[in-house]
Amino acid sequence: MCGILAVLGCTDNSQAKRSRVIELSRRLKHRGPDWSGLHCHGDCYLAHQRLAIVDPASGDQPLYNQDKTVVVTVNGEIYNHKELRAQLKSHTFRTGSDCEVIAHLYEEHGENFVDMLDGMFSFVLLDTRDNSFIAARDAIGITPLYIGWGLDGSVWFASEMKALSDDCERFMSFLPGHIYSSKQGALRRWYNPPWFSEQIPSSPYDPLALRKAFENAVVKRLMTDVPFGVLLSGGLDSSLVAAVASRHLADSQAAQQWGSQLHTFCIGLKGSPDLKAAREVADYLRTRHHEFYFTVQEGIDALEEVIYHIETYDVTTVRASTPMFLMSRKIKSLGVKMVISGEGSDEIFGGYLYFHKAPNKEEFHQETCRKIKALHLYDCLRANKSTSAWGVEARVPFLDKEFINIAMSIDPEWKMIRPDLGRIEKWVLRNAFDDEKNPYLPKHILYRQKEQFSDGVGYSWIDGLKDHANKQVTDAMLTNASFIYPENTPTTKEAYYYRTIFEKFFPKNSARSTVPGGPSVACSTAKAVEWDAAWSKNLDPSGRAALGVHAAAYEETAGTKAANQNNGSPQQPQGTLEKTATVA
């Protein structure tokens, strides 16, 4: 990952303004510690902080077309850059960077080229011939991007809010799958897949086609000139990523540089479900496995830094980002700069445990569509920013455009959770990789129950966070929360605590509006809370809140409730570190 900052159309082009842009760009240096670049043209500034993954020697940014009239600053990876270069035979390229094709595609096709890009990206492109510019973000929002406006009429773009929040009067998250054109002065959607309308698809389930599409998605993401590995929690999604990467690594160019044994990484509290499951998968795949531990106190101590980097106060995201943030620091210390991760599968296949209560295939499918559209506010944000905090890039094959198209075209009847037919959550994915002759994974791993990352690292992690928040936030503070925070009012002490930290770093109204709100159970959207009347009384984003579904669901008996009231302690869930949640 890299960090980009662009300021376009500002009235001040003095040395002081240049120095200010450089100063703000340095706030993104964690994203790109390898090199810094700045291009100034009149009243426009394009800055870049580079994390070198492809062509480290010559791919410094900003990048240009042949005569340097088109300038582009990019954060991301373009996996089909070689195919695109082959279509641009009349163009002369200056570097081996995958992102250089963007400048040449614009020169060839104007603004209507973004859908040709296969990858994850946020970019700002300046055409110096008429001083026009465009900015665009990838289809799902894997890479972060913000847009802001200055009082002097300037338009700003940045990878993270911290680079523009102080100097913009108003700013917001740049919508995924959209392009901004200075000629039109507005955002428009360039990404228009069939599933976006939420119409119910009817294509039959083809397990081999689904498997092939995912394998292609993983292989694409082996494009690297630096050491890499896979984040392995031992759950279905990360285990499939590791299994496919391990199978195809020997045939990749990456293996010629870094060897054919895959590195895998896992973090958890000692004795946690993830550590045990990840070790078993790593042993099965014969990966070079790295196991990291953290304590609840170490996680709590990191909270302020985590919230500063991830730029959100969403409870689920903070819970899950903290161990990922700590793990990324360890990974970087080993010299690894890129990891492949399993985000996106639960949204596409209805893998969250609350999908057990979907009343019909129509509502099931519409909820998956809503979840994918919101990924940029949750898991994509977490995966990108908590790794980029330490100069590590996260790639997510489940969010490959072609894979999503195939997976979302399947008749959702096949995705429905049907215990009577032996179908648990994500059965269509599990079944696609259930190969008796050449197994990808052991059966019990392939059919392990969904475990949210913040739960899987150790159940006492969330319990410890709640205890800590209870000590920091008084009853009176929570009672008056609606007066202090009238927008997205926190309803728990944990949420209140995260909000106070966020507001310290990002006090503007625009900042708090970038964070989503609304009721949720086990990571559901507000709409899906309606599926079960009991959920409205247990609005917690942990997977264990899916009462009657998770094998370690929150339990509240009269005895335990009375005991907690007697000793004055807050109500605690009964899940323990030793309690695994597997489905054979």
Residues tagged in the binding site annotation for L-glutamine: 98
Q: 72 Cβ partners below 8 Å, 6+ apart?
A: 46, 61, 62, 63, 64, 99, 102, 103, 106, 123, 124, 125, 126
User: What phi, psi does 219 have (nearest 5°)?
Assistant: -60, -40
**Phi, psi values for residue 343, rounded to 5°:** -60, 150
Annotated binding site, which residues? 98, 231, 267, 341-342
Residue 379 near residue 344, CB atoms below 8 Å: yes
2 is catalytic: yes
Q: What are phi and psi of 172, to 5 degrees?
A: -155, 165
80-103 residues labelled b (16+ CB within 10 A) or e (exposed):
bbeebbeeeeebebebebbbbbbb
Q: Which two tokens stand for residue 57?
A: 């020697």
* Binding region for ATP: 231, 267, 341-342
SS3 state of residue 456: helix
Q: Which of 2, 44, 99, 266 is catalytic?
A: 2
Helix (H, G, I), strand (E, B) or coil at 105: helix
Instruction: Report the relative pairing of strands 3-8 and 155-158 from DSSP bridges.
Output: antiparallel
Numbers of helices and strands, H then E, in the chain = 22, 17
Q: In this structure, are residues 180 and 187 in contact, taking their beta carbons and an 8 Å threshold?
A: yes
b/e code 532-562 from CB counts within 10 Å (16+ = b): beebeebbbbbbbbbbebbebbbeeeeeeee
Other CB atoms within a 10 A radius of the CB of residue 460 amount to 19
C-alpha triplet 139, 142, 146: angle, nearest 5°? 90
DSSP, collapsed to helix, strand or coil, labels residue 393 as strand
DSSP-derived letter for residue 132 is: E
Do 424 and 417 form a contact (C-beta atoms < 8 A)? Answer: yes
Strand arrangement, sheet containing 178-181:
63-64, 70-78, 119-127, 132-137, 178-181, 186-189
**178 backbone dihedrals φ, ψ, rounded to 5°:** -120, 160
Distance, in Å, from the CA atom of 48 to the CA atom of 62, rounded to the nearest integer, reads 6
The edge-to-edge listing of strands for the beta sheet with 44-50 is 35-41, 44-50, 3-8, 155-158, 146-149, 170-173
| Interatomic CA distance for residues 59 and 72, integer angstroms | 12
Q: Annotate 544-555 with DSSP letters as a single string.
A: GGSTTTSTT---
Tokens representing residue 118 in the block: 């296969």
How far is Cα 42 from Cα 368, in angstroms, rounded to an integer?
Answer: 46
How many other C-beta atoms lie within 10 A of the C-beta of residue 24? 21
Residue with tokens 């996996």: 79
Mind spelling out the 3-state secondary structure of 470-521? HHHCCHHHHHCHHHHCCCCCCCCHHHHHHHHHHHHHCCCHHHHCCCCCCCCC
Active-site amino acid positions = 2
